[in-house]
Chain A
Amino acid sequence: MIPLSWFLTFSAALFCIGLFGVLARKNAVAILMGLELMLNAVNINLLAFWCYLYGKDLSALVFVAIVFVAAAAETAVGLALIISAYRARNTAVADELNLLKG
């Protein structure tokens, strides 16, 4: 059987890749994709702990379901805002959204 630590390492790696994507990517859609990776890492972590250590407790499953819902809501609002900016300025690159600075 695969040991728990492998899952945790995998999830940590996925989280770091997602965080790197969020910090390094220029396109707002790509940043949202990085966020999805981070949230998937969260879910893998929860499920791995649940499956290996706390099988009788159902709260992890509820937590995972709620993380899914919240991630979907965040992405939906994010894409709506990005489309609204894209229509006016023909760009979805975060660096070019620079009306506000100082």
Chain B
Amino acid sequence: MMIDVGRMMLEILPEIGLLILIGVVLVLDLFWRKSRKKLGWVSFAGLLLIFVLTLVFVQPARLPQLTWGGMISLDMTGYIFRMIFIAGAALTVLYAIANDSLAGRGEFYLLLLTSTLGMCFMASAADLIMLFLAIETTTVPLFVLAGFLTRDQKSVESGIKYLLFAAMTSAVMLYGFTWLYGFSGTTQLYQIAERLKYGFVPQAAVVAAMMLVLVGFGFKISAVPFHFWAPDVYDGAPYPVAGFLSTASKAAGFAVLARALFVIFPLQTETWTLIVALLSTASMFVGNLLALAQKNIKRLLAYSSIAQAGYILIGVAADSPLGTSGVIYYLSAYLLTNLAAFGIVALVGRAVGSDEISAYAGLSRRSPALALAMLVVMLSLGGIPPFAGFIGKLLVFAAAIERGLIWLAILGVINTIVALFYYLTVLKVIYLYRSEEEDKPLAVSSAAGTALVICIVGIIALGVVIAPLYGWSTDAAATLLFLPR
């Protein structure tokens, strides 16, 4: 059998690019002792280059194919999620440049890029071994990133909490993986599905293994009841890391969740759609009701992100092409929105020295631009047109109704209304409340400004020009439900 190394390399071009970039950052960190701040711009330029190269050279096959010995599935889903992760990492790098305690630390960018590399593999892994390795490559750097500010005990504590939760849930998930291996004798996702179909394994046993696996994925997407880590970790971790955790890491979790459920468990569809629908309901209610009581903006965003995971799960529960494309659209919109939210919170938090919502009083007078950006972000999170969040919600609710899950769509709409209350409360503080310091302008560095402009333009663009991304997501959804050869 001839192996075309060049073609195989091209297929994982983004991952190879990230690996080279990691090496470059590592070496430059050693030699640029005086000007480490430039490392951030090197990482950003590298990520941008990888993004463009991937767009130009890597064309996903119409029909999914397995490469690298069945380890990786080359399809539209993997492709689109890679783009999401790389974009998320690039924006996070910009926020890190604007953050004085992170900007001069080469290892920050190194760990961030390594984590992104893991996510890229997560999105296209087609083998249990590859999947596990990719998940670990993603999470182990994230532990360090969450606990990055060793002088700040809140950061260290959030690192420990994240590690303990992540390690426990990933051990439970692995135990589920071993049972899947035991039932089928293979670690290849597509072969597992085939052998489970013709094997003599009782359904109850397969469902039990599926529950174990869902624990690990539920943690990654911070769905209730695996959400306890999220508020504490977002609160303690450095701002850019909290943003990255709540967006790219969550998107990676959804990528593997969807692939695992669609590919390995097509026969248990009735069971898992019910489980996912219940997880979704619980996440929406718990996230939104607890968010109502929050006084701290980081914790409010954490509970809101739990609730958002609930809305996205509606798309998964629908188990249809429309639902899956809704999930992808929602995740892209959510990535831009929440990264912008954490960017603004970082700027205000460092200027005011507090993350309390009351500290946002008078922001509209201190910095009209930031206040306006927050308005866009909060309305997009709340699902108001013409912003991206609205289209995401529309697609997942439509998918639920199309598949007869009308109760789930109704619960989703009720929760959207509840959520609007606390999003609008933040806006009320920003626009209507006065503060004594409102004549002091708020400085926005060029890096953070660039990132915010990209995010806000993206939010409005995704909310107005729907067709391109929707077309991509539909293609991705179609390939996810296809069996590769």
Whether B157 and A49, one on each chain, are in contact in the complex, defined by CB atoms closer than 8 angstroms, is no
User: In the complex, what distance in Å separates the CA atom of A73 from the CA atom of B235?
Assistant: 25
Q: Within the complex, what minimum Cβ distance (angstroms) separates B234 from chain A?
A: 9
Q: Contact flags (1/0) for B14-47 with A, using CB distance below 8 Å?
A: 0000000000000000000000000000000000
B68 within 8 A of A: no
Segment of B126-134, B278-286, B435-443 engaged in the interface with chain A:
B126-134
Check A78/B163 contact, CB under 8 A, given A85-B157, A102-B296: yes
Check A73/B172 contact, CB under 8 A, given A78-B167, A89-B153: no
CB < 8 Å A-B pair total:
123
Q: Contact flags (1/0) for B173-204 with A, using CB distance below 8 Å?
A: 01101110110011100000000000000000
Whether A38 and B172, one on each chain, are in contact in the complex, defined by CB atoms closer than 8 angstroms, is yes
A54 within 8 A of B: yes
Whether A88 and B156, one on each chain, are in contact in the complex, defined by CB atoms closer than 8 angstroms, is yes
Whether B129 and A63, one on each chain, are in contact in the complex, defined by CB atoms closer than 8 angstroms, is yes
Which A residues are CB-close (under 8 A) to B181? 46, 49, 59-60, 63
Whether A45 and B129, one on each chain, are in contact in the complex, defined by CB atoms closer than 8 angstroms, is no
Q: Which of B128, B144, B185, B295 contacts A53, CB < 8 Å? A: B185
Check A74/B136 contact, CB under 8 A, given A18-B171, A100-B236: yes
Whether B175 and A15, one on each chain, are in contact in the complex, defined by CB atoms closer than 8 angstroms, is yes
Q: Within the complex, what minimum Cβ distance (angstroms) separates A23 from chain B?
A: 8
Interface residues of B in 135-187 (CB under 8 A from A): 136, 140, 143-144, 147, 150, 153-154, 156-161, 163-164, 167-168, 171-172, 174-175, 177-179, 181-182, 185-187
Q: Which A residue sits closest to B237, measured CB to CB?
A: A100
B358 within 8 A of A: no
Whether A49 and B178, one on each chain, are in contact in the complex, defined by CB atoms closer than 8 angstroms, is yes
User: In the complex, what distance in Å separates the CA atom of A28 from the CA atom of B171?
Assistant: 16
A17 within 8 A of B: no
User: In the complex, what distance in Å separates the CA atom of A78 from the CA atom of B166?
Assistant: 11
B362 within 8 A of A: no
Whether A42 and B167, one on each chain, are in contact in the complex, defined by CB atoms closer than 8 angstroms, is no
Q: Which of B159, B168, B186 contacts A59, CB < 8 Å? A: B186
Which A residues are CB-close (under 8 A) to B268? none
Check A102/B133 contact, CB under 8 A, given A60-B181, A77-B144, A78-B167: no
Q: Which of A19, A28, A67, A80 contacts B132, CB < 8 Å? A: A67
Interface residues of A in 1-31 (CB under 8 A from B): 8, 15, 18-19, 22, 28, 31
Whether B187 and A39, one on each chain, are in contact in the complex, defined by CB atoms closer than 8 angstroms, is no
Q: Within the complex, what minimum Cβ distance (angstroms) separates A42 from chain B?
A: 5
Which A residues are CB-close (under 8 A) to B163? 74, 77-78, 81
Q: Which A residue sits closest to B143, measured CB to CB?
A: A77
Q: Within the complex, what minimum Cβ distance (angstroms) separates A90 from chain B?
A: 12
Q: Which A residue sits closest to B165, measured CB to CB?
A: A22
Whether B164 and A101, one on each chain, are in contact in the complex, defined by CB atoms closer than 8 angstroms, is no
Q: Within the complex, what minimum Cβ distance (angstroms) separates A2 from chain B?
A: 16
Q: Within the complex, what minimum Cβ distance (angstroms) separates B239 from chain A?
A: 15
Which residues on A are within 8 Å of B, measured CB to CB? 8, 15, 18-19, 22, 28, 31-32, 35, 38-39, 41-42, 45-46, 49, 53-54, 57, 59-60, 62-63, 66-67, 70, 73-74, 77-78, 80-82, 84-85, 88-89, 94, 97, 99-102
Q: Besides A22-B164, A35-B167, 19 other CB < 8 A contacts?
A: A28-B164, A39-B174, A45-B175, A59-B186, A60-B187, A63-B128, A63-B129, A63-B187, A67-B132, A70-B132, A74-B163, A78-B167, A81-B160, A84-B156, A85-B160, A88-B153, A99-B236, A100-B161, A101-B232
Task: Show 24 residue pairs from A and B whose CB-CB distance is below 8 angstroms, ordered by the A residue.
Answer: A18-B171, A19-B168, A28-B164, A42-B177, A45-B182, A49-B178, A49-B181, A59-B186, A63-B128, A63-B181, A67-B132, A67-B174, A70-B136, A70-B140, A74-B136, A77-B140, A78-B164, A82-B160, A85-B156, A88-B153, A89-B153, A94-B160, A97-B160, A102-B299
Which residues on B are within 8 Å of A, measured CB to CB? 128-129, 132-133, 136, 140, 143-144, 147, 150, 153-154, 156-161, 163-164, 167-168, 171-172, 174-175, 177-179, 181-182, 185-187, 231-232, 235-236, 294-296, 299
For the complex of A and B, the 7 pairs showing the least CB-CB separation, nearest first, are: A38-B171, A45-B178, A49-B182, A100-B232, A54-B185, A70-B136, A59-B187
